[in-house]
Structure 1
Amino acid sequence: DFLLVEKNDKVQETREYLGLVNSKLALAQGGEVDPGKLLNELTRYASGKCNQDVIKVWINESAELFDWIDPLMAAAGKQSVCDMPPVHATGGTDYYLPVLQHVWLTPYAPPTRNDVLLSHIQAAGHEPRFKHELVKLVHDGGKVTGGIFKTSDGYVQIDAKNTLLATGGYPANPTMMGALAPSAVACCTASSYALNDDGYGLKAGIWAGG
């Protein structure tokens, strides 16, 4: 049993492509990835400033996730494909760049992936609560046990045995961008992001001890 609580007033549009490691589609086209080599390359790319355990979750479980969601997309009329990169004109690169991108055809035609997931959640008997803006996570100095939300009917507290905080980054927060990613602010002339990606969810996690 679960409860989905969302700041927006409806499902957001989403990019339909995603990175997967050793999915059935990729393997069928010769796109096998060496997990250890990929982990090393991503760690190099991050200058070692990363948590390898988090990366390994994606490497080890992303194909299983795709096996779960792809039938839902297929039932909604969305066929999945795996992009294979063209042969590099100069023979490739010294860096390890495996085949990862998977996408559903006609990606921006309804229903979107999030629409499909919403229908799946509703069919399972769960109704997401939209227009719930997180104010703070509830905790006693240890485990998070829920959250307090601002709604059109006032503030509500939702208690939970387990809490999963799913939040975007902070591209819509100029102060955080200037402080934490000044090179992006200095170099980018255009950007595309969700207006609600204001970094508040990240702050809430930090304030709760994360």
Structure 2
Amino acid sequence: MAATLDVVIAGGTVYDGTGAPGRKADVGVRGNRVVAIGDLSAARAKRRIDASGKYVCPGFIDLHNHSDSGILRKGLRENLCYLTQGCTTIVTGNCGGGKIDVDRYFGRLTSKGMGTNVAHLLPQGSIRSRAMGGSVHRAPTAKETAKIEQLFARGMKHGAFGMSTGLIYTPGSFASTDELVACARVVAAAGGIYASHIRDEGDELLKAVREAI
């Protein structure tokens, strides 16, 4: 490899996340990307880290996280409690509650800095509350439904990863399946995912799972 690497993590057992068995290899990094895996003993590098006797793997992803506000706070935004466990990405906006204005949220994260990557889900409950003026113990009107869908479309445009629901909590518990499907269609059209805290975890568990599916 002719070009100098920024970092070589040398001599560790590499688990690459594909399910393949671990193998002894070096990992070469340039900028913020892994650019080489293999025998890099002859490669030029600005820094070498001896990983002998250690495992080397991609950063873990915490798919269900509630650090939406914490990661914005001084002293917490470094997210060291996650980094020290090997977690390099968190997903916020879970259980239907969280930040609605994705562009503003990401802007604050970028300007202040954060220790981990952040993927954000649009919170159905919070969006429903805003669109319905806090009067959530009912079905939305046609005008409110349009506003809900508009907020989902706007959030996806600004980089949200998908949507979440918390159907066991207010206000999500008052949303019908048809209402959720309408929101999910907007999100799916933009390539987003659906993550749910389902409507019941007891006697109606199977019914709640069927609804989610």
Normalized per residue, the structure richer in strand is 2
Decide: shared fold, TM above 0.5: no
Q: TM-score, normalised by structure 2?
A: 0.23
Q: TM-score, normalised by structure 1?
A: 0.24
Q: Could you say which structure has the larger radius of gyration? A: 2
